[in-house]
Amino acid sequence: MAGPRQESDHDAKLLRGGIELITPSLIAGWAYHPHHALSDVRLLSGPHLLAHGRIQDPRPDVEDHLRREGRFGFQLEIPADLPLSRLESAPQILALSADGSQRFPLSYIGARSSTQRRLLAALDPERRGLRGHFDGLTPDGGTLHGWCYKAGEREPAKVWLQARDLPPRELICQQLRPGMANQGHVEACGFRLAIAEWPEAAGASVWATFDPEGLLRLPQASPVQLPPPEILEATLLVREREPDAFAASALGVSLAPTERQAEHWQALDGFRRYLDSLEGELDRQEQIRLRPPRPRSLWGRLLGSNR
């Protein structure tokens, strides 16, 4: 019996969506084709089926984007105990039509040419099965944190914090995360880095990856932006002078401010207001610059004025 046939070039161009997330334990994205009802995704290496999943997850954002109702999302779990230690062929992810007659290769959205490199990195035996999450900044804004582990592995996992044009920061994931066991995870899997220990990243957008090359991002709820150098320095000054206030904040404890704390916070708040006013003035000047020039008046033209 003949298997699914490769799509035509015309049909391939009509495919919408692709892969949004590749990790060592999960691949996720969405797929839609106007002429074929897509039902399954498969991760293959040559003739070997490594993982498969259904295209059935609700994606309201995709529905808005396509302006049609449906379930277009998929999540494909990568087994940690795949029998293949080395892949015989380059891995690929295919979306299959409901009747099995059509198949469409899926690429990583925004970086199509990197799809195979990312899949190979995720399927590396040393990394395969890792799971985690980048939680961003702690409530007090002073520490980057998250978690990562591989089930059944005794050695703690590693992650790398990344920022554009900066070398990655390697972190070992072995700090306790109380309550993780109740959710079926390992408790000693946390990582933390105080932003004071990474001053060169001040003002930058940061993220965490499973690999030092930065191909495999840890999932995160929203973008993480570190405070600019001026705010960071002012915050660290207050932290240095009143460490108890920050320690209490990190624990979720509310303490009445002392007179010195109030002065420091007032100074910091004033500095922030100054930055806000400066930003407002820059915006106003930019609006003036972009405003179309008014036509010169008759008197201005007669008198040779530029107004």
pLDDT at 298: 37
The pLDDT tens digits of the residues spanning 248-287 come to: 444 433 334 444 444 444 545 555 554 565 566 556 655 5
- DSSP 3-state of 298: helix
Q: pLDDT-based confidence at 167, cuts 50/70/90?
A: very high
Q: pLDDT-based confidence at 307, cuts 50/70/90?
A: very low
Q: What strand order describes the sheet that includes 48-57?
A: 5-6, 102-106, 91-97, 38-45, 48-57, 73-77, 26-32, 16-22
> What is the C-alpha separation between 237 and 248, in angstroms, rounded?
17
> What is the C-alpha separation between 247 and 116, in angstroms, rounded?
45
**C-alpha distances out from residue 265 to 65, 70, 193, 255, 278, Å:** 44, 51, 24, 14, 20
**C-alpha distances out from residue 69 to 13, 58, 66, Å:** 21, 9, 8
* Angle, CA 136 vertex, CA 276 and CA 73 arms, to 5°: 110
What is the CATH architecture of 130-230? Sandwich (2.60)
Query: Of 8-17, 20-29, 209-218, 266-275, which range is least confident?
Result: 266-275
> What is the C-alpha separation between 307 and 45, in angstroms, rounded?
71
* Angle, CA 72 vertex, CA 41 and CA 62 arms, to 5°: 135
pLDDT at 288: 54
> Is 122 or 186 the better-scoring residue by pLDDT?
122
| Domain map (residue ranges) of the chain | 5-122, 130-230, 256-307
pLDDT at 100: 86
- Residue 36 structure tokens: 């074929």
Query: Of 111-115, 147-151, 222-226, 302-306, which range is least confident?
Result: 302-306
Burial 213-229 (b: 16+ CB within 10 A, else e): eebbbbeeeeebebbee
**pLDDT exceeds cutoff 50 at 141:** yes
CATH of span 5-122: 2.60.40
* Same fold flag, 5-122 and 130-230: yes
Q: What percent of the chain has pLDDT over 70?
A: 71
| 165, 208 Cβ separation under 8 angstroms | no
Query: Of 121-130, 135-144, 237-246, which range is least confident?
Result: 237-246
| 224, 162 Cβ separation under 8 angstroms | no
> Is 89 or 269 the better-scoring residue by pLDDT?
89
Q: Look up residue 218 and give its DSSP letter.
A: P
Query: The pTM is what?
Result: 0.73
